[in-house]
Structure 1
Amino acid sequence: MSWLVTGGAGYIGSHVVRSLEQASMNPVIVDSMSSGVRGFVANELPFYSVNVLDTEKLTEIMKRHDITGVIHLAGYKYAGESVKNPLLTFEQNVTGTANLLRAMENARVQNIVFSSSAAVYGTPSVELVTENTGTFPESPYGQSKLIGEWLIRDQAVATGLKHTSLRYFNVVGSGSEELYDASPHNLFPLVFKALNESKTPKIFGTDYDTADGTCVRDYVHVADLALAHVEAAKKLEAGTKLEPVYNLGSGDGVSVREIMDAVAKVTGIQFTAIEEARRPGDPARIVADGQLAARDLDWQMRHSLEEMVQSAHRASQSRA
């Protein structure tokens, strides 16, 4: 029995793969390599360069490896960029999820852990988002993730699929120095790339309705996130009924300006960030309550903000 990880050569996916390995759950990796890094995945693991749009190949892989369940992380993950590329976003995230579900049905695979996002909430009217908070996504990315959840729930009604969706927002840090966030749009890699090139980091938007005018986010460490995915997979495999969605959040918000201060402290490089206009699709504040996941998925914040920054910095240095 094995677990298929779509997007398993990506930043989050590679951490999930390593956690599955440590749990002796035999990961099989599928990644289109549009943003994945082949070196993130050990050569001895089964690896396929396949897009989740390819139902036929996915079905073949699942049957070949006697797949028990799928951890679905593949997708177009950039909220701001999704505003510019809505068709690509919906193709990869909605059609891709539908095709994956078809392949699972073909191969009689009955377990799925879905990588969703706190972007489904948009800009909440509450200080702390729970799983019952209304969903009003403000970008095609957030919309596509919500539709993915709906697809999975409807397929569960039709076929008895066992599932859960994990909603998270700003995933940072590194569980191993050679695994870095390669995104050209996420805050941490942008900041460290600028510093590594002796440039000044940028803040996008300083006129939000927050204490210091910059976006407030809920930052979680990627290694903690990976463990929650593995725990969800274990529970589904054991037949334990899980909630349809879980927030993976810290309950504490940190502003972009506060992140800049933490980076300066960790790196020892003093700088004043360049202030740029807002990016489309970025809500002002979103902080999630993770109590439900703590109850069912052993969700814990095992890393402080400083440790998140330190681990991300080390990984960025190894990349440089």
Structure 2
Amino acid sequence: MATAPQWVASATANVSAKLFRGGLADLRPTPRALVDKGRTRSVYRFTPRGGGDPVLLVPPLAAPAFCFDLRRGCSLAGHLVERGRSVYLVDYGQVSFADRNLGLEHWVDDVLPRAVAAASRDAGGRPVHVVAWCLGGIMSLLVAADRQDLPIASLTTIAAPIDMSAIPLVAPIKPLTDIADSWLFTPAYRLLGGAPRALVKRAFQISAIDKVITKPYAVLRNLDDADYLAQLEAVDRFTDNMAAYPGRTFGQIYHRFFRANDLAHGELELGGRRIALRQVTVPTLVIAGDGDTIAPHRAVRHVVDILDRAPEVEFHTCPGGHLGVLAGRAARTTTWRHIDRFLDRHNPVR
């Protein structure tokens, strides 16, 4: 434990860095190069190129793609590159009002299959290991189930909720949404063209309202901890860069996931056909955060019982909330180690 003079010296240095040197977090992105581009799709390869099969990082909609590259020291992308892997990222960019008619089909039928194909092609035709967070994990599961012709070798989902009834935030307000849907919620998102980025940002903050309320006290208590303060800066930047949801996609998520809870049954009607998650036939790693209120343990773990045709389904609960389980300080020695071991087993770097 630091002595009082040591605490004061560290706190003074941190405050000085915050006020006069732009902050404590090293927000420089991991170097990358564009390898493919299309509507709401940019596929990047992080540099330097590594060995083994390519690893494709898949973010959710509305969240900035740098969730996988939050800051130096808390970047899953940078970590995988340092371990000698070939790492790719799909970035959806900013969604505008002009994209309001894009539905989940756009991402499941076009964006993600093309991203997988692009990563495989750039890596010389090798199979792709998909690592996805939140809704990115749900969409990746749907793609893997629906497109077994794609060169997907394995799948890792982090904080991807399948059973919405297991989310404590949902249960109290669902009866209200059932009553108010036809005259409030559906007309609102249709009028606005989706869920505006300001609303998405507020929803993310509300999911961790206890941390928002106690943040000033936590900052003062940890004023001598540069790494803690740097993480707060990086998370604030992440939250400030939330994007909007396209109207039709938001409507499908709201009606099919939130109200009908279709995914809990392992199937989803999409684009005129029914996609069954049990058609996933690749090794799968599933990770939940022990402090995640958006995707709690039970909501995430439910997929383990559904994927009965996968040759391997491995499940772990790791420290952290919704973002923390992916890019928190504890993720470096928990979540990332599980991903490392899983990839080492199915995708050894030579």
Q: TM over 0.5, yes or no?
A: no
Which TM bucket (shorter chain)? 0.3 to 0.5
> TM-score normalized by structure 1?
0.34
> TM-score normalized by structure 2?
0.32
**Higher share in helix:** 2
More RCO (CA 8 Å, sep 6+): 2
